[in-house]
Amino acid sequence: MPRHSIFDIMGPIMIGPSSSHTAGAVRLGRMVKTILGRKPTEVLIKLHGSFAETYHGHGTDLALVAGLLGLSESDPEIVNSLALAAREGIKIRFETVDLGQEVHPNTAIFLSTLPGGEVVQVTGHSTGGGSILISQIDQFKVALTGELHSLITQHQDEPGVVAAVTKILAEHRVNIAFLSLSRTARGEIALMTLEADEPIPQAASEAIRRVKGVHRVRIVPALK
Amino acid sequence: MKFKFNSAAQWLALAGKTGLDLADVVLRAEMESTGASRDQILEKMRQSLVVMRSSAQKGVHEPVYSRSGLTGGAAHTLAQAIAAGKTLTQGLFAKAALYALSTAEVNASMGRVCAAPTAGSAGVVPAVILALEEELGLTEDAVVLGLVVAAGVGQVAAEYGELVGAALGCQAEIGVASAMAAAGGAYLVGVDWQGCLDAGALALQNLLGLVCDPVAGYVEIPCIARNPSAATNALTCIELVKAGIRSPIPLDDVLLAMVDIGKRLHPDLRETSRGGLAITPSGRRLAEACAARSCPRKRESHE
């Protein structure tokens, strides 16, 4: 089988001008929207590297905001995204930052304020051809591409939590493709990111929410 | 039977062994890998064609300008020259140049395009296919199969290397687009299977070594003008194979050369805007003017 579908070659159908700086940026914004799970009141977007240098001409800023609003990379409304965000009552600000040479050139950091004042920080990269990678959520390192269905839990770092979560997924016939764990310190807050081949059913996420020691559950469906 | 192919030679061998044509082999492989039916795949390709038609026409009817302000209106200018009978070539070549230019300008204006294989090279394949459709009065069903063959060439190319300027230079975007258009176009004018792939080989061979050196980092200079150039290059190669001329170096070997050359290209010439046209005196001046224009919005968004 050729590795690429003919529609990876003849496609995607997208708003120009750049698959990495425009289409990929829309997908990044859409991932952040799903990670947040709720409409933010305010988002500060920090642009680094090539994103910072060329965002205006590539419409990277418009594309990131379009994604935050849930638009697809082929939606002609992308050019109006700043006005659409204003209408939805989301305050958007941009900053250009220099995170250093080691950081991927197409990087955006989203600082989103949710109703109630909680701030969620998400770092993402556009890795070429419309592909993306979310590398950090708050203080936790993650690796989410949007290719598979993801589950993110924030939980107490104690024995049995991970086992309880994976047992629930097994009961719902969800196959885990990738799993990673990180924590702030031993016995403190841990973050599990898990990518699965199947969509994670509502019943499973509700059961996981009830697991002792789980503080928060986020479901991030695959982007395509 | 497996329709897996990773090279042009395997593709051709599958066609020879099964008696299917080039488009059918690609369709069978796609059906195997995605589980979609032939009709579903053709319908999806038809949707790509709808987007291609629209982006090939938009710049013809109205001047389309890029967001950066660096470029725009060229397709409209060329359309007026064609309408006034003031162009050097008419018909196929002039139309292909026009449609390629329009699509590339629509892309730079944040309009909708179908990447083929990338957004920056999106004008080449539609230009050749649509110009042939009009000039030869082809049916839409035939045109869709031409796109399938073009996509097959892109699939083979993607087996050899990453089709992005940052990895292998412009040759991997505009060069591969030209090869796709040449093979798809040759298929549409009834060239034999080997000849179709040879058209692709010749088209890519002509664009080997092309660097990615965009002014100010935007997909505009030289990207926009390279689209009509690669489209007419494809037409020239179709003309050659139609007459029976063959490529001494087959497509697979030309792709090997593309990867070899791409890997040897200095990073300054791979989408970083640190070399080539981007750092010429005029390239730098345009970049500065462009940065100055975008300043007001930069200030706005910092408030």
Q: Tell me what pLDDT residue A5 has.
A: 86
Interval B126-156: pLDDT, tens? 999 999 999 999 999 999 999 999 999 999 9
User: What average pLDDT does range A197-213 have in this prediction?
Assistant: 95
CATH superfamily, domain A149-220, is: ACT domain (3.30.70.260)
Interval B225-269: pLDDT, tens? 999 999 999 999 999 999 999 999 999 999 999 999 999 999 999
Mutate which: B7, B27, B52, B110, vs A, most A CBs within 10 A: B110
Is residue B17 pLDDT above 50, yes or no?
A: yes
**Does B109 lie at the interface with A, CB-CB under 8 angstroms?**
yes
CA torsion through residues B245, B247, B250, B254, sign: negative
Nearest to A110 by CA among A86, A127, A90: A90
Angstroms from A24 CA to nearest CA on chain B: 12
**pTM of this prediction?**
0.88
Which token pair is B222?
Answer: 């030289």
The reply to whether B202 falls in a domain is yes
Mutate which: A3, A14, A15, A18, vs B, most B CBs within 10 A: A18
The reply to whether B3 falls in a domain is no
If you measure CA to CA, which chain B residue comes closest to A73? B112
Confidence of residue A147 (pLDDT cuts 50, 70, 90): confident
**What mean pLDDT, rounded, does chain A reach?**
92
Q: Tell me what pLDDT residue B290 has.
A: 82
Q: Do residue A2 and residue B290 have CB atoms under 8 angstroms apart?
A: no
Q: Which amino acid is present at B297? A: R
Q: Do residue A16 and residue B216 have CB atoms under 8 angstroms apart?
A: no
**Does B112 lie at the interface with A, CB-CB under 8 angstroms?**
yes
* Dist. CA B45–CA A147, nearest whole Å: 22
Residue range of the domain that includes B211: 8-292
Is residue B175 pLDDT above 70, yes or no?
A: yes
Q: Tell me what pLDDT residue A101 has.
A: 83
The percent of residues in chain A predicted with pLDDT above 90, rounded, is: 74
Q: Any residues with CB less than 8 A from the CB of A182 and at least 6 apart, and which?
A: A140, A141, A142, A190, A191
The reply to whether B303 falls in a domain is no
Contact A91, A115 (CB under 8 A): no
Residue B151 sits in a domain whose CATH number is 1.10.4100
3 state SS for chain B: CCCCCCCHHHHHHHHHHHCCCHHHHHHHHHHHHHCCCHHHHHHHHHHHHHHHHHHHHHHHHCCCECCCCCCECHHHHHHHHHHCCCCCCCHHHHHHHHHHHHHHHHHHCCCEEECCCCCCCCCHHHHHHHHHHHHHCCCHHHHHHHHHHHHHHHHHHHHHCCCCHHHHCHHHCHHHHHHHHHHHHHHHCCCCHHHHHHHHHHHHHHHCCCCECCHHHCCCCCHHHHHHHHHHHHHHHHHHHHCCCCCCCCHHHHHHHHHHHHHHCCHHHECCCCCHHHHCHHHHHHHHHHHHHHHHHHHHHHC
Confidence of residue A56 (pLDDT cuts 50, 70, 90): confident
Q: Tell me what pLDDT residue B273 has.
A: 87
B5: left (phi over 0), alpha (psi -120 to 50) or beta: beta
- Extents of the domains making up chain A: 12-138, 149-220
Cβ–Cβ pairs < 8 A, chains A and B: 157
The reply to whether B99 falls in a domain is yes
If you measure CA to CA, which chain A residue comes closest to B163? A129
Q: Do residue A2 and residue B48 have CB atoms under 8 angstroms apart?
A: no
Starting at the earlier edge strand, list the strands of the sheet with A131-137: A91-97, A42-49, A106-113, A119-128, A131-137, A140-144
ipTM of the predicted structure? 0.92
Q: Which amino acid is present at B52? A: M
Among residues 166-185 of chain B, which lie with CB inside 8 Å of chain A? 166-167, 180
Nearest to B267 by CA among B174, B167, B170: B167
Domain count across chain B: 1
The reply to whether B300 falls in a domain is no
Domain A12-138 matches domain A149-220 at the CATH topology level: no
Question: Was domain A12-138 assigned CATH 3.40.50.300?
Answer: no
Is residue B294 pLDDT above 70, yes or no?
A: no
Angstroms from A1 CA to nearest CA on chain B: 4
Nearest to B130 by CA among B240, B38, B235: B235
* Dist. CA B230–CA A136, nearest whole Å: 41
User: What average pLDDT does range A68-96 have in this prediction?
Assistant: 96
Angstroms from A100 CA to nearest CA on chain B: 16
Q: Do residue A93 and residue B107 have CB atoms under 8 angstroms apart?
A: no
